[in-house]
Amino acid sequence: MIFRNATVWKQNRFMKQDAIFENGMLHFSDSHTIPVSADTMPVFSNCLIFPGFCDVHVHFREPGFCYKETVASGTQAAARGGYTAVCTMPNLNPVPDSREHLQVQLDAIKRDALIATYPYGSLTVGERGEEPSELDGMSEDVIAFSDDGRGVQSEDMMRTLMQRAKALGKMVVAHCEDNSLLRGGYIHNGVYAKEHGHKGICSESEWGQIKRDLRLAEEIGCAYHVCHISTKESVALIREAKARGVNVTCETAPHYLVMSDRDLCEEGRFKMNPPLRDESDRQALIEGILDGTIDMIATDHAPHSVEEKSRGLENSAFGIVGLETAFPILYTELCKTGILSMERLVELMSINPRRRFGITSDAGWTVWDVEREYLIDPNEFASMGRSTPFTGRRVCGTNLLTVYNGQAVYRNEIEN
């Protein structure tokens, strides 16, 4: 594959170069000197070439729930989305709360992963929040510790977990949710609205725990990362904590940046946790992206079966897929509209997550034709999950190639 006049991210900036992918390697030239034979290689013009993306928050469901997703299908979806590194969350069966349980997942990764795949260890046994996991026994083989999908309800337990994680040189990665604040309806534009059929995950259930954890992280000196923030209060609290020198980073997801609760439909593909929030929250997240409060964008890729997502907004399982739509959505909705620079998007999707999580594996490359426009069709996904709120949305950005460790882990067979 030959890429003429490509815009390439190198040395922390974009530059114009030609590139050729041949024999597993992507070679660059500062001038138009690459020999071209249109009869033997497809030629593409004006593409964007990035270091491979890194997603620190995905669910691959293996072991325990392989009917939803496997390591093989999940990493295929990631490669198709331009990712060369992912971190997999621990809500599995068995939960990786001991070295023995973690090994089941490590074996699947070693056997089937196409790209760099780093597991989390759970913070507590069974992610039940009652007893610390065997953190010492897992620390060398996990990227960090998290009970993702559940907030740690006890302040004393979170203090103990932070102290142990700090001693091991590991980060605590928190899904922040105060169960005592959950109600049986959905907060729509600030009003209790049971008719939406969405579990009542109010804003304070998120930012209240963030406020508690920031205080603990400051007290203990633990490295702390907040998952999928969705509220304006969360942004403000983290901004203030960073100004005080707290060792904290955070992520948000593409759907919180481009959608709000007024986009909700009574379909399972709109059910996620945290839920879509008010437009004022979305705007605060944009501000947090622009001023550096939010460090990275993660997808929270959470596949389920068709049956589990076809029960309407009220009864469907929480979670949507996102690996294969993240870049096209962000590029189309934020970069093409002038809200976000391409340089900042590279930082959010590739550079910052690797830096914060200490990921040193080969970033490789991903090549995108951003002039191709199409409608998102879940039937084309490599993921076993098909549930996305972006079905039918018109976007720009087709991945042509993802290269990791000198191999094409994804290659689009379309012709120029």
Domains of the chain with CATH codes:
2-46 (no CATH), 52-361 (3.20.20.140)
The pair phi, psi for residue 75, each rounded to 5°, is -75, -25
Q: Do strands 248-252 and 224-226 pair parallel, antiparallel, or not at all (unpaired)?
A: parallel
Q: Is the pLDDT of residue 187 over 60?
A: no
Q: Is 2 exposed, middle or buried (0-12, 13-18, 19+ CB in 10 A)?
A: buried
* Confidence category of residue 275, pLDDT binned at 50, 70, 90: very high
Average pLDDT of span 333-353: 98
Residue in the block written with tokens 């950005």: 397
pTM of the full structure:
0.94
pLDDT at 95: 98
Structure tokens at 39: 């009869």
Average pLDDT of span 243-258: 98
What does the alpha-carbon distance between residue 144 and residue 256 come to, in Å, rounded to a whole number?
24
Higher pLDDT, 334 or 11: 334
Buried b (16+ CB within 10 A) or exposed e, 95-123: bbbbbebbeebbebbeebbbbbbbbbbbb
pLDDT at 416: 61
Structure tokens at 180: 């005592």
Q: Do strands 116-119 and 83-88 pair parallel, antiparallel, or not at all (unpaired)?
A: parallel
**Contact assessment for residue 120 and residue 146, using Cβ atoms and an 8 Å cutoff:** yes
Beta bridge pairs of residue 43: 2
What does the alpha-carbon distance between residue 66 and residue 389 come to, in Å, rounded to a whole number?
23
Q: Considering the chain, what is the average pLDDT of its residues? A: 93
DSSP track, 95-114: -S-SHHHHHHHHHHHHHH-S
Average pLDDT of span 96-110: 98
Q: Is 251 exposed, middle or buried (0-12, 13-18, 19+ CB in 10 A)?
A: buried
pLDDT at 192: 41
**For residue range 29-67, what is the model confidence (pLDDT) as tens digits?**
865 556 555 457 788 999 999 999 999 999 999 999 999
What does the alpha-carbon distance between residue 245 and residue 247 come to, in Å, rounded to a whole number?
6
Helix (H) / strand (E) element for 352: namely: helix 352-357
**Contact assessment for residue 269 and residue 304, using Cβ atoms and an 8 Å cutoff:** no
* Confidence category of residue 200, pLDDT binned at 50, 70, 90: low
pLDDT at 37: 55
Residue 287 DSSP SS3: helix
Which residues are part of the catalytic machinery?
Answer: 300
The pair phi, psi for residue 343, each rounded to 5°, is -60, -45
Q: Is the pLDDT of residue 183 over 80?
A: no
Give alpha helix (H) positions in 229-315.
232-243, 254-258, 279-291, 312-315
What does the alpha-carbon distance between residue 371 and residue 10 come to, in Å, rounded to a whole number?
21
pLDDT at 201: 82
Average pLDDT of span 86-96: 98
Buried b (16+ CB within 10 A) or exposed e, 271-301: bbbbbbbbeebbebbbebbeeebbbbbbbbb
At 35, which amino acid appears?
Answer: P
**For residue range 285-294, what is the model confidence (pLDDT) as tens digits?**
999 999 999 9
> Quick one: which of 376, 263, 268, 294 has its CA closest to 327?
376
- Start-to-end Cα distance in the chain: 10
> Quick one: which of 233, 227, 254 has its CA closest to 334?
254
Structure tokens at 217: 């992280």
pLDDT at 185: 44
Cα distances from 336 to residues 184, 397, 401, in angstroms, run 39, 11, 21
DSSP 8-state assignment for residue 132: B
